[in-house]
Amino acid sequence: MTSESPRERYRAQVREEIKRHAWEQIAAAGVPALSLNAIAKQVGMSGPALYRYFASRDELITALIRDAYRSLADTVRAARDAGAGLPGLAGTIRDWARSDPQRYFLVYGTPVPGYHAPDDTTAISFEVMAVLIEACAEETGEEPPTPFDAHLETHREWAGGHPAPAAALHRALSFWTRLHGVLSLELAGHFAGMKFDPDLFLAEELAALRAR
């Protein structure tokens, strides 16, 4: 076990403060308006000084995306470990998304203009799909790939053919697309004025999927 030096702890604290101000900017005006110079003023440092913590806007966005994916993956894994099936996982993901819509849209919304994520940025998101496949295999009576970590590694190499049972994989992908379709419309306000209950709509979509 290694201990951080005071300088390393200070650097980590400043990076977290910068990210906090970045989320506030995103909530107020969206990702395209993210400004490192504006954040520098908020944290009381010069623009060049801030670049010692994040070398570019893209590096900051990447850190935010990784944090968002990690938060969702950990939340979903905890729900699954507590015994949640697909209905419970749907509620968990929806609650996570509604608790911070801007965080949701950063990872599942429209791509940020001019931003190109590193190849490994979305790797954490595979953990979420692995959990969903595990839950779907339980429902379809198939044997999920084990152990979880090995399943995750093969999931990252999907181009070679996914090892998950076909029915579980199809159900997980269908669940994923239906859930995010509903969430994206709901969080963007497209259900406003339609006079129906998004909770009931999502429950019916999930029931129809599981009946197949």
Per-residue pLDDT of the chain (212 residues; tens, 9 = 90+): 456 788 888 899 999 999 999 999 998 888 888 889 999 999 898 888 999 999 999 999 999 999 999 999 999 999 999 999 999 999 999 999 999 999 999 999 888 888 888 877 777 888 898 899 889 888 888 776 555 555 555 555 554 555 667 788 888 889 999 999 999 999 988 888 887 788 888 888 888 887 77
**1-55 and 56-210 share one fold:** no
Count CA atoms closer than 13 A to 98's CA, side-chain side. 14
pLDDT on residue 75: 97
CA–CA gap between residue 74 and residue 124 (Å, rounded) = 10
Type of residue at 110: T
61: closest CA among 104, 19, 90?
19
Map tokens 């850190």 to a residue.
63
Is residue 185 exposed (0-12), middle (13-18) or buried (19+ Cβ within 10 Å)?
middle
Domain layout of the chain by residue ranges: 1-55, 56-210
Q: May I ask the CATH class of domain 1-55? A: mainly alpha
pLDDT on residue 190: 87
Residue pLDDT, tens place only, 171-191: 888 999 999 999 999 998 888
Tokens at residue 45, please? 């440092």
pTM: 0.85
Instruction: Provide the CATH topology of domain 56-210.
Output: Tetracycline Repressor; domain 2 (1.10.357)
CB atoms within 10 A of CB 33: 10
CA–CA gap between residue 85 and residue 135 (Å, rounded) = 6
pLDDT on residue 191: 86
pLDDT on residue 152: 55
pLDDT on residue 69: 93
CB atoms within 10 A of CB 139: 16
* Furthest C-alpha separation in the chain: 59
